[in-house]
Amino acid sequence: MSEIVLETEGLTKYYGDSLAVDHLDLEIPRGCICGFVGRNGAGKTTAIKLMLGLLEPTAGSSRLLGCDSSALTPAIRQRIGYVTEGHRLFRWMSIAGLEKFQRAFFPKQWDDKFFTDMIEYFDLPKKKKIKHLSNGQRAQVSLALALAPNPELLIMDDPTLGLDAAIRRQFLEGMIGLIMREGRTVLFSSHILGDVERVSERIVVIDKGILRAYCSLEQFQEAVKKVIFTFADSVPNEVNIDGLLHCKRIEKQLELTLVGTDDEQIAEWAKSAGAENHTIVKMSLEDQFIEFTAPANQKRLFKWEER
Amino acid sequence: MPLWIQILPGSDEPIYVQVTEQISEAIARGQLASGDKLPAVRKLASELVINPNTVARAYSRLEQAGLVTTKTGSGTFVSDPKMRRSDAADINMLAERMDTLITRGLNLGMGEQDLIRLFESRLTKFSKKSNKRKEEK
């Protein structure tokens, strides 16, 4: 396995009595785009702020590019890009002013031409003040500011929230463009599963502060499935099958949502339970995510073995 | 080469499957002929705005299916149909898929002749395109 550029170990955060992030253990290797998903309030923003050292953890630790998040040196910070939720930029500044301001933090690797080309591509006048830009334009400036220093590790907190399809696509293009350069890594949170599916190689799923899945996107898509079993007489009362998430009974049919159960196990169970037949239903990533994070009795971490 | 691949995120087919199937179909229809070069992985990933690994996975599936061959250093090419392997198991799987479609057709109230006509008319969609391509050459 390649070098780990983002690592958390038992990372935990309480706000008073409420637990926002619960013992998060993550290891993100260099060179991938990692989609970070979870429902509203799942703890994504808190987790990101902890990783960047903007919040102090209640317990546990995290490391970016091998450096503890609580003690990131300027030299390390220069290699990391961060896009905040809502693209908060100094409102009184012009685009050119922000460019100058931001460039000062990345003296070695700021790419003037890249920034200017991107702003031109977005058709934004550099003299314009941030406060006079629309939300979408502000997001575009924020994207250009994040990419211009050619960051080794780019962390974006829900960067496409509330943006139109065209600007969302520009963010995706920006991520793909960055990853094409050697050794760049991106972690981005999003609620738009279609975007996550498009660009991510790996996904992190958290729910109520707890890590629920961390694997390649393909493994997640293969792992979560819905199976409908049809019985001749009645549906069995006991359902005992590995990886059971949800169980629904509809007359003579039994609908199971399973995670990590392979097709042979399903066929075996169908036989032993006396099912007449069974169908494995294909699911979209969005449906898989909804089923996976829906309240269930058994909640387990799904971590596929690295092949 | 024109970009005919369309990505539908949120479909129940993973994106690498969508890419694999659309390229397979282009080969079957003759839009891509034996010896044609596929776009480089990174180029196609940029154009489609998808992860390069997804494209690489699609290409390796196509290679496993014998539809393309990768020559180190020069790229991925559509393979010679004569070199493609099809064993009894492949043909058997195809037959099973046809059974599903025939069942649907019969359930819709179609007769044997209707089904044969439908099959033939679909088949011409594939042969016409490939004929056209030959004429162009």
Q: Which domains does chain B have, with CATH numbers?
A: 15-83 (1.10.10.10), 88-136 (no CATH)
In this complex, which of B11, B15, B45 lies closest to A176 when CB atoms are compared? Answer: B45
User: Which residues does residue A204 pair with via DSSP β-bridges, in sequence order?
Assistant: A36, A214
- Residue that wins the pLDDT comparison between A31 and B137: A31
Contacts of B85 by beta carbon, 8 Å cutoff, 6+ apart:
B66
Provide the ipTM: 0.84
Mean pLDDT across chain A, nearest whole number?
Answer: 91
Contacts of A10 by beta carbon, 8 Å cutoff, 6+ apart:
A23, A24, A25, A59, A60, A61
Give the minimum alpha-carbon distance from B64 to chain A in angstroms, rounded to a whole number: 18
In this complex, which of B12, B15, B49 lies closest to A176 when CB atoms are compared? Answer: B49
pLDDT at A263 over 50: yes
If residue A237 lies in a helix (H) or strand (E), which one and from where to where? none
pLDDT at A87 over 60: yes
Give residue for tokens 């629904």. Answer: A248
* Cross-chain residue pair B46–A193, CB shorter than 8 Å: no
Please report the pLDDT score of residue A256 as a whole number.
Answer: 93
pLDDT at B133 over 80: no
Residues of A in contact with B54 (CB under 8 A): 201
Please report the pLDDT score of residue A179 as a whole number.
Answer: 93
In this complex, which of B10, B49, B54 lies closest to A173 when CB atoms are compared? Answer: B49
Please report the pLDDT score of residue A60 as a whole number.
Answer: 96
Model confidence at A6, pLDDT cuts 50, 70, 90, reads very high
Return the percentage of chain A with pLDDT > 70, whole number. 96
Please report the pLDDT score of residue A306 as a whole number.
Answer: 47
pLDDT digits (tens, 9 = 90+) for A271-298: 999 999 999 998 999 999 999 998 865 5
pLDDT at A117 over 50: yes
Contacts of A76 by beta carbon, 8 Å cutoff, 6+ apart:
A64, A65, A67
* Cross-chain residue pair B50–A199, CB shorter than 8 Å: yes
Model confidence at A122, pLDDT cuts 50, 70, 90, reads very high
pLDDT at A158 over 70: yes
Cα–Cα dist B54/B130, whole Å: 28
Please report the pLDDT score of residue A81 as a whole number.
Answer: 93
Name which of A49, A23, A83, A28 is nearest A200 in CA terms: A28
pLDDT at A202 over 90: yes
**Interface mutation vs chain B, best among A187, A198, A200, A290, most B CBs within 10 Å:** A198
Return the percentage of chain B with pLDDT > 90, whole number. 51
**Are A212 and B85 a contacting pair, CB within 8 Å?**
no
Give the domain ranges of chain A. Answer: 4-208, 222-293
Model confidence at A301, pLDDT cuts 50, 70, 90, reads low
Handedness of CA A143, A145, A146, A152 (dihedral sign): positive
Contacts of A244 by beta carbon, 8 Å cutoff, 6+ apart:
A256, A257, A258, A261, A298
CATH of A222-293, one of 1.10.1060, 1.10.10, 3.30.70, 3.30.160: 3.30.70
Residues of B in contact with A176 (CB under 8 A): 45-46, 49-52
Q: In chain A, which residue's Cα lies nearest the Cα of B8?
A: A194
In this complex, which of A193, A199, A284 lies closest to B12 when CB atoms are compared? Answer: A284
In this complex, which of A180, A194, A218 lies closest to B9 when CB atoms are compared? Answer: A194
Q: How do the residues of chain A divide into helix, strand and coil, expressed in percent and rounded to 5? A: 30, 30, 40
Please report the pLDDT score of residue A305 as a whole number.
Answer: 52
In this complex, which of A180, A198, A201 lies closest to B7 when CB atoms are compared? Answer: A198
Handedness of CA A15, A17, A21, A23 (dihedral sign): positive
Q: Would you give the DSSP letter of residue B79? A: P
In this complex, which of A176, A198, A218 lies closest to B46 when CB atoms are compared? Answer: A176
Least confident of A163-167, A271-275, A296-300, B84-88: A296-300
Please report the pLDDT score of residue A242 as a whole number.
Answer: 87
**Residue A259, SS3 per DSSP:** strand
Least confident of A20-34, A42-56, B85-99: B85-99
pLDDT at B135 over 80: no
**Are A133 and A124 a contacting pair, CB within 8 Å?**
yes
- Domain pair A4-208 / A222-293, same fold: no
Half-sphere exposure of B1 toward its Cβ, with a 13 Å CA cutoff? 16
Give the minimum alpha-carbon distance from B11 to chain A in angstroms, rounded to a whole number: 5
Centre a 10 Å sphere on the Cβ of residue A79 and count the other Cβ atoms it contains: 19
Q: In chain A, which residue's Cα lies nearest the Cα of B47?
A: A173
* Cross-chain residue pair A286–B10, CB shorter than 8 Å: yes
Residues of B in contact with A199 (CB under 8 A): 49-51
pLDDT at A78 over 70: yes
CATH fold of A4-208 reads Rossmann fold (3.40.50)
**Interface mutation vs chain B, best among A185, A218, A220, A280, most B CBs within 10 Å:** A218
pLDDT digits (tens, 9 = 90+) for B35-56: 999 999 999 999 999 999 999 9
Residues of B in contact with A282 (CB under 8 A): 12-13
pLDDT at A183 over 60: yes
Model confidence at A307, pLDDT cuts 50, 70, 90, reads very low
* Cross-chain residue pair A284–B10, CB shorter than 8 Å: yes
* Cross-chain residue pair A177–B15, CB shorter than 8 Å: no
Model confidence at A186, pLDDT cuts 50, 70, 90, reads very high
Residues of B in contact with A197 (CB under 8 A): 9-10, 14-15
* Cross-chain residue pair B46–A201, CB shorter than 8 Å: no
Tokens in use for A5?
């550029």
Name which of B34, B4, B25, B22 is nearest B134 in CA terms: B34
Please report the pLDDT score of residue B124 as a whole number.
Answer: 85
pLDDT at A84 over 60: yes
Please report the pLDDT score of residue A297 as a whole number.
Answer: 56
Give the minimum alpha-carbon distance from B25 to chain A in angstroms, rounded to a whole number: 21
Please report the pLDDT score of residue A88 as a whole number.
Answer: 87
Question: How distant is the alpha carbon of residue B28 from its chain centre?
Answer: 6
Please report the pLDDT score of residue B88 as a whole number.
Answer: 76
Query: What's the average model confidence in pLDDT over A47-73?
Result: 96
Beta strands A253-259 and A244-250 are antiparallel
Name which of A148, A136, A134 is nearest A96 in CA terms: A148
Handedness of CA A151, B57, B127, B34 (dihedral sign): positive
Query: What's the average model confidence in pLDDT over A108-123?
Result: 93
pLDDT at B131 over 60: no
Cα–Cα dist B62/B123, whole Å: 22
Query: What's the average model confidence in pLDDT over A63-74?
Result: 95
**Are A142 and A55 a contacting pair, CB within 8 Å?**
no
**Are A220 and A201 a contacting pair, CB within 8 Å?**
no
pLDDT at A299 over 60: no
pLDDT at B132 over 60: no
